[in-house]
C-alpha cells in the first residue's frame, strides 16, 4: 500500500499545456505497436495522413482532450482523444483514444490511471461513449477491457473497442 501511495505522488496527471502539443508526435510514434522481433518503422511514419489525423491542429477540434503523466518535471506519457476518422472511428459523435507511455514507464499502472481520468472527463463533457482500435497482439487489450472497453468489431489485425458511459 505504501508503494502505491508513493507511485501516485511520484507521477502527476495533468492537462497538456498548449506549448506542449508537439509532444503528441513523440507519443504517437511511441503508440505504434511493434511485435516482438519486428524492426520499428522510421519515425517519419507519423507523417502519413492516416496518422497525422491524431495530432494535426490538436486542441482546435471537437473532442480534443489530452492528459499527460509527469514524473520529475518530465512528461512521460499521454492520453488524448478527438473526434476523427481514424482506425477506431465508430461515428462522428464519439471521441477516439490514443495513449502511449515511454517504454520505461509502462507496466506501472500509469496507463490505467490516464485512461480512467480521461474516461471521467469525457463522461463529464456529456459524451455517450469513446472508442479505440488496438492490434490484437497488443498487451494493452487487457488494460482497455479493465477500464470498460468492449470489442464491437474486428478485422484481421485489430479490435475496435468501445466504452459506453
Task: Note the pLDDT tens digit of each residue in 56-91.
Answer: 999 999 899 999 999 999 999 999 999 999 999 999
Cell numbers placing 57: 491542429
Q: What is the mean pLDDT of residues 131-141?
A: 95
Q: How far apart are CA 122 and CA 161, in angstroms?
A: 16
Q: Is the pLDDT of residue 38 over 50?
A: yes
Cell numbers placing 141: 487489450
3-state secondary structure of 15: strand
Show Cβ contacts of residue 109 under 8 Å, excluding neighbours closer than 6 positions.
7
Give the global pTM: 0.91
Q: Is the pLDDT of residue 1 over 60?
A: no
How many other C-beta atoms are found inside a 10 Å radius of the C-beta of residue 159? 21
Amino acid at each position: 500500500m505504501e508503494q502505491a501511495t508513493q507511485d501516485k505522488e511520484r507521477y502527476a496527471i495533468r492537462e497538456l499545456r498548449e506549448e506542449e502539443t508537439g509532444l503528441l508526435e513523440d507519443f504517437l510514434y511511441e503508440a505504434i505497436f511493434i511485435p516482438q522481433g519486428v524492426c520499428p518503422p522510421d519515425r517519419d511514419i507519423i507523417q502519413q495522413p492516416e496518422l497525422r489525423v491524431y495530432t494535426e491542429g490538436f486542441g482546435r477540434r471537437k473532442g480534443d482532450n489530452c492528459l499527460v503523466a509527469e514524473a520529475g518535471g518530465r512528461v512521460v506519457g499521454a492520453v488524448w482523444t478527438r473526434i476523427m476518422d481514424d482506425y477506431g472511428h465508430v461515428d462522428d459523435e464519439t471521441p477516439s483514444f490514443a495513449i502511449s507511455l515511454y517504454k520505461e514507464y509502462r507496466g506501472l499502472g500509469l496507463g490505467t490511471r490516464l485512461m480512467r481520468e480521461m474516461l471521467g472527463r469525457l463522461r463529464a463533457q456529456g459524451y455517450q461513449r469513446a472508442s479505440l482500435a488496438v492490434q490484437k497482439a497488443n498487451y494493452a487489450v487487457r488494460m482497455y477491457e479493465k477500464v470498460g472497453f468492449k470489442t464491437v468489431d474486428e478485422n484481421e489485425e485489430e479490435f475496435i473497442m468501445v466504452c459506453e458511459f
